[in-house]
Chains A and B, each alone.
Chain A
Amino acid sequence: MQDATDRRILRHLLADPDAPAETLAERAGVTASTLARRLARLRETGAIRATEARIDWRALGFEVEVSLRFTLDKTDPRAFGAFLAAARGVPEVTEIQSFLGSVDFRLSVIARDMAHWQQVYRESILTLPHVADSDALMLVSTIKDSGALPL
């Protein structure tokens, strides 16, 4: 479990993951060596799982992003596993979430343009197994995207 110092470090780290270590130490009010020690322990205990590079798909020419929501036909007990395996095989899928409720799965799917989207939709999405119902939300703009937690 974390103490107040850990929570302060995490709050500042998650609010600005690109800040250099010395800036983070200053904001959290700890020395550089305390910061390094605390971060190492947060990683060891699994509270921090990874630090990944954020890829901007638009900069790579993927202009279209769609949030697809699926309800599966649950009469077949293999539906969840089969759907998940097939979704993992689609290269344009960047996120997969499963849910409790009326929606079973959500996929984030990217495409270069609307013609490419149409191709991905027909060839890779409409062919996903055990789908009873689906709908699509086309991304217009992202107003906030933060990993911050109210610690």
Chain B
Amino acid sequence: MTPDDTDLAILRLVARDAGLSAAEIGRAVGLTQPAAWRRLKRLREAGVIAGRRVVVDPAALGFTVTVFLGIRLAAKGRLDLDAFERAAVAIPEVQVVQHVLGRFDYRLRVVARDIADFERILRRRVMTLPGVGQVEANVMLSEERRPGPLG
């Protein structure tokens, strides 16, 4: 769909707070409550608002380490990719698995309680994934999500 300026203003609001009511959104963008509700419904039905994301402070929940991994597979047949993907998504500490083109075949995002915990996950879970070749790890220091092209 092609959103107009009012849709973009609504998206900017809900991208920060998905809990806003249609009345609150309407007040912020100059629409009545029913008009805001209809627009929200349309944005959901078009799949633009795809759902919710709960943002937590992982350190406050005991996960002080986030690591991004770049992985190259040793062999790259269709069956190799399937086997790797099935095993990678099953690791509870792995939050993101993406198939990419470039220096690596896959990007993974891994959470761990501390560096020792990460070493355990890397050795026991990641290095034993089927077909895994070269692995590069980068420990995340900070992260921010940007509004993107909503403006």
Q: Mark A111-141, 1 if CB is under 8 A from B, else 0.
A: 0000000000000000000000001111111
Given A61-B2, A140-B101, A147:B54 Cβ within 8 A:
yes
Check if B58 sits within 8 Å of A62, measured CB to CB.
no
Q: In whole angstroms, what is the CA distance A33 to B14 when docked?
A: 25
Check if B143 sits within 8 Å of A97, measured CB to CB.
yes
Check if B1 sits within 8 Å of A97, measured CB to CB.
no
Check if A147 sits within 8 Å of B56, measured CB to CB.
yes
Interface centre among B54, B60, B100 (most CB of A within 10 A): B54
Residue A46, interface by CB 8 Å = yes
Chain A hits for B148, CB < 8 A: 55, 57, 91-94, 110
Q: Mark A81-104, 1 if CB is under 8 A from B, else 0.
A: 000000010011111111111110
- The 8 Å CB contact of A96, one of B94, B96, B99, B146, is B146
Q: Mark B64-105, 1 if CB is under 8 A from A, else 0.
A: 000010100000000000000100110011111111111110
- Count A interface residues, CB 8 Å: 58
**Quick one: closest B residue to A140, CB to CB?**
B99
Given A51-B54, A143-B89, A151-B61, A100:B138 Cβ within 8 A:
yes
Check if B95 sits within 8 Å of A145, measured CB to CB.
yes
Check if B54 sits within 8 Å of A2, measured CB to CB.
no
Shortest Cβ distance from A46 into chain B, in angstroms?
6
Interface size class on chain B is: 35 or more
Residue A4, interface by CB 8 Å = no
Residue A78, interface by CB 8 Å = no
Check if B89 sits within 8 Å of A99, measured CB to CB.
no
List A residues at the B interface (Cβ < 8 Å).
2, 7, 10, 13-14, 17-18, 45-57, 59-62, 67, 88, 91-103, 106, 110, 135-151
Minimum-distance CB pairs A-B, first 8: A53-B14, A137-B100, A150-B92, A137-B102, A56-B50, A99-B138, A59-B47, A144-B97
List B residues at the A interface (Cβ < 8 Å).
1-3, 11, 14-19, 46-58, 60-63, 68, 70, 85, 88-89, 92-104, 107, 111, 136-146, 148-151
